[in-house]
Amino acid sequence: MKIDELRNLQPQVFERFESILAQNKLNHAYLFTGNFASFDMAQTIAKSRFCQDKKGVWPCGECRACRLIAEEDFSDVIVVRPQNQIIKTERVRELLKNFSQSGVEGNEQVFIICEAEKMHINAANSLLKVIEEPQSEVYIFLLTSDENLILPTIKSRTQVFHFPKNESDLSSMLENAGMLKDQASLLAAFSQTLEEAESLQSSQFFFDLVGLSQRFVELCLSRNDMAFLQVAKLTSLLDDKKKQDQAFRILEILFYQQIQTALGRTCLDGLFHARKMWQANVSFQNALEYMVLQSIERG
Ligand SMILES: [Zn+2]
125-128 long-range Cβ contacts below 8 angstroms, 24+ apart: 125/154, 126/89, 126/92, 126/93, 126/96, 127/92, 127/96, 128/29, 128/154, 128/157, 128/158
CA–CA separation, 31 and 42 (whole Å): 10
> For position 26, what pLDDT does the model report?
94
Q: Which residues surround ligand 1, an ion (CB under 5 A)?
A: 51, 59-60, 63, 66
> How many whole angstroms from 60 Cα to the centroid of ligand 1?
4
> How many whole angstroms from 48 Cα to the centroid of ligand 1?
7
> How many whole angstroms from 158 Cα to the centroid of ligand 1?
27
**Mean pLDDT of the 84-110 span:** 78
Q: Are strands 159-162 and 29-33 parallel, antiparallel or unpaired?
A: parallel
Stretch among 48-52, 60-64, 152-156 having the lowest mean pLDDT? 152-156
User: pLDDT at residue 24 above 80?
Assistant: yes
> How many whole angstroms from 137 Cα to the centroid of ligand 1?
20
User: pLDDT at residue 77 above 80?
Assistant: yes
> How many whole angstroms from 50 Cα to the centroid of ligand 1?
7
Sorting pLDDT into bands at 50, 70 and 90, what band is 13?
A: very high
Stretch among 66-75, 103-112, 147-156 having the lowest mean pLDDT? 103-112
User: Residue by residue, what is the 3-state secondary structure of the chain?
Assistant: CCHHHHHHHCHHHHHHHHHHHHCCCCCCEEEEECCCCHHHHHHHHHHHHHCCCCECCECCCCCHHHHHHHCCCCCCEEEECCECCEECHHHHHHHHHHHCCCCCCCCCEEEEECCHHHECHHHHHHHHHHHCCCCCCEEEEEEECCHHHCCHHHHCCCEEEECCCCHHHHHHHHHHCCCCHHHHHHHHHHCCCHHHHHHHCCCHHHHHHHHHHHHHHHHHHCCCCHHHHHHHHHHHHCCCHHHHHHHHHHHHHHHHCCCCCHHHHHHHHHHHHHHHHHHCCCCHHHHHHHHHHHHHHHC
> How many whole angstroms from 47 Cα to the centroid of ligand 1?
7
- Residue 29 and residue 158 in contact, taking contact as beta carbons nearer than 8 Å: yes
Q: Give the whole-number percent of the chain exceeding pLDDT 90.
A: 60
**Mean pLDDT of the 9-33 span:** 92
Q: Is 43 exposed, middle or buried (0-12, 13-18, 19+ CB in 10 A)?
A: buried
Q: What is the pLDDT of residues 159-169, one digit of tens each?
A: 999 886 677 77
Sorting pLDDT into bands at 50, 70 and 90, what band is 298?
A: low
Q: Is 251 exposed, middle or buried (0-12, 13-18, 19+ CB in 10 A)?
A: buried
> How many whole angstroms from 1 Cα to the centroid of ligand 1?
13
> How many whole angstroms from 41 Cα to the centroid of ligand 1?
15
> How many whole angstroms from 87 Cα to the centroid of ligand 1?
30
**Mean pLDDT of the 141-165 span:** 87
> How many whole angstroms from 12 Cα to the centroid of ligand 1?
23
pTM of the model: 0.56
User: pLDDT at residue 102 above 60?
Assistant: no
> How many whole angstroms from 100 Cα to the centroid of ligand 1?
25
Sorting pLDDT into bands at 50, 70 and 90, what band is 286?
A: very high
> How many whole angstroms from 157 Cα to the centroid of ligand 1?
30
> For position 176, what pLDDT does the model report?
85
User: pLDDT at residue 257 above 60?
Assistant: yes
Q: What is the pLDDT of residues 158-199, one digit of tens each?
A: 999 988 667 777 788 788 888 999 999 999 899 876 567 878
Sorting pLDDT into bands at 50, 70 and 90, what band is 296?
A: confident
- Residue 297 and residue 263 in contact, taking contact as beta carbons nearer than 8 Å: no
> How many whole angstroms from 244 Cα to the centroid of ligand 1?
48
Stretch among 145-149, 202-206, 222-226 having the lowest mean pLDDT? 145-149
> How many whole angstroms from 77 Cα to the centroid of ligand 1?
14
> For position 193, what pLDDT does the model report?
63
Sorting pLDDT into bands at 50, 70 and 90, what band is 130?
A: confident
> For position 125, what pLDDT does the model report?
87
> How many whole angstroms from 135 Cα to the centroid of ligand 1?
26
Buried b (16+ CB within 10 A) or exposed e, 8-24: eebeebbeebeeebeee
> How many whole angstroms from 10 Cα to the centroid of ligand 1?
21
Q: Which of 245, 227, 226, 244 is nearest to 236 (CA)?
A: 244
User: pLDDT at residue 115 above 70?
Assistant: yes
> How many whole angstroms from 65 Cα to the centroid of ligand 1?
6
CA–CA separation, 142 and 139 (whole Å): 10
Q: Give the whole-number percent of the chain exceeding pLDDT 70.
A: 93
